[in-house]
């Protein structure tokens, strides 16, 4: 390890990757990453990511892994749709070189999102992210979000496909029959 500062500005000491100090430092960097996103600080956000950074978004939004440049384009698309989007870390746990966080998203849909024109509706939805650290920076990032809740808040109705529809109807009929 070196004595160069890590992204959160604290000096890096000679510590083992899985010890409590590095886990706490990684959790702090994960929280800082959310803070710099909320501040729209692209340089600060880039500083958190390792040079060989890879992101894995939900396949429904982005089917392939993203490098740093593609990640920034992905975020720009989200911010075009929700320019006031703010994230809040609700919980964080870490072990070894991994940090998992439960995130709350809040914003207003004022731009096109996945082909949907602006609805001007405020939305709140949750997500989970997992960050893998190398040398105090995020080398790999996975995230999932409650897309169903988001789409419902935007006024979209999810209709079951042909394989699921008979099960849904049978379940509803069973519920009606039980109430009698």
Query: What CATH number does the domain containing 24 carry?
Result: 3.10.450.50
Q: How many domains does the chain have?
A: 1
For residue 101, the cross-strand partners are 92, 129
Please give the helix or strand (H or E) that residue 24 lies within, else none: helix 20-38
Assigned domain for 4 exists: no
Assigned domain for 135 exists: yes
Which domain covers residue 35, as residue numbers? 20-179
Assigned domain for 79 exists: yes
CA distance 77 to 148: 19
pLDDT at 11: 43
pLDDT at 180: 66
What is the secondary structure of 155-180 as a DSSP string? T------TTTHHHHHHHHHHHHHHH-
Assigned domain for 118 exists: yes
Q: Walk along the chain (180 residues) in steps of 10 and give the mean pLDDT of each run.
A: 45 52 95 97 95 92 92 94 98 96 98 93 98 97 94 86 77 76
Please give the helix or strand (H or E) that residue 132 lies within, else none: strand 122-134
Assigned domain for 129 exists: yes
Assigned domain for 155 exists: yes
pLDDT at 18: 55
Assigned domain for 13 exists: no
Q: For 71, what's the count of Cα atoms within 13 Å in the CB-facing half-sphere?
A: 24
pLDDT at 5: 47
pTM of the shown model: 0.77
Beta strands in 24-121 (DSSP E): 49-56, 86-95, 98-108
pLDDT at 69: 94
pLDDT at 171: 77
pLDDT at 38: 97
């Amino acid at each position: 390890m070196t004595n160069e500062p890590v992204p959160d500005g604290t000096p890096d000491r000679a510590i083992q990757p899985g010890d409590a100090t590095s886990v706490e430092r990684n959790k702090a960097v994960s929280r800082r990453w959310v803070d710099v996103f909320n501040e729209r600080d692209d340089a600060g956000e880039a500083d958190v990511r390792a040079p060989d950074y890879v992101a894995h978004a939900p396949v429904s939004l982005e089917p392939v892994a993203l490098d740093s440049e593609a990640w920034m384009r992905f975020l720009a698309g989200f911010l075009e749709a929700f320019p006031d989007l703010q994230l809040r870390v609700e919980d964080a746990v870490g072990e070894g070189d991994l940090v998992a966080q439960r995130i709350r998203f809040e914003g207003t849909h004022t731009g096109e999102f996945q082909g949907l024109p602006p609805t001007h509706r405020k939305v709140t939805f949750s997500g989970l992210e997992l960050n893998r650290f190398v040398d105090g920076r995020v080398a790999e990032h996975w995230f999932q979000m409650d897309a169903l809740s988001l789409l419902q808040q935007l006024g979209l109705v999810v209709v079951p496909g042909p394989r699921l529809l008979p099960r849904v109807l049978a379940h509803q009929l069973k519920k009606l029959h039980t109430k009698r």
